[in-house]
Amino acid sequence: MSEYLNTEELVAAYPALFSVSMLKKSRMKYADVAGPPHINLGRKVVYDRSDVEAWLLGLKRVVQKSAAVAPVVKLRRGRPTKADQIARRAAY
């Protein structure tokens, strides 16, 4: 049988991942924050430990580092400086 945890027990089991307020916000209908699947038992909310662990595994990302990384080009905003204008004229 599965182990069910209430909100406070889940926060105590995973203190670095969850807070009580984050879990409450994730249960709202139009939540900005996605949270683990929960079960409503009347006014009580419980989380199945196996569902929470499966949800955490779904968040895992694999980052592949490539050898060639494109340089970051900083886009300039606003009016060009006098030096930019002179350099552009010289390039033509």
Please give the average pLDDT of every successive group of 10 residues along the chain, which has 92 residues: 86 90 86 85 92 89 70 78 89 78
pLDDT for res 68 = 67
Enter the pTM of the model. Answer: 0.61
Is 65 domain-assigned? no
* Cα three-residue angle 49-51-56, rounded to 5 degrees: 95
Q: Considering the domain boundaries, does residue 47 fall inside one?
A: yes
Number of domain units in the chain? 1
- Reported residue count of the chain is 92
pLDDT number for residue 46: 94
DSSP E strands in the chain: the ranges are 4-6, 39-41, 44-48
pLDDT, residue 51, reads 92
Q: Is residue 67 in a domain?
A: no
The predicted pLDDT at position 1 comes to: 54
Containing structural domain, residue 46? 4-58
Does residue 29 fall inside a structural domain?
A: yes
What is the predicted pLDDT for the residue at 66? 66
Residue 27 located in a structural domain: yes
Count other C-beta atoms under 10 Å from residue 85's C-beta. 11
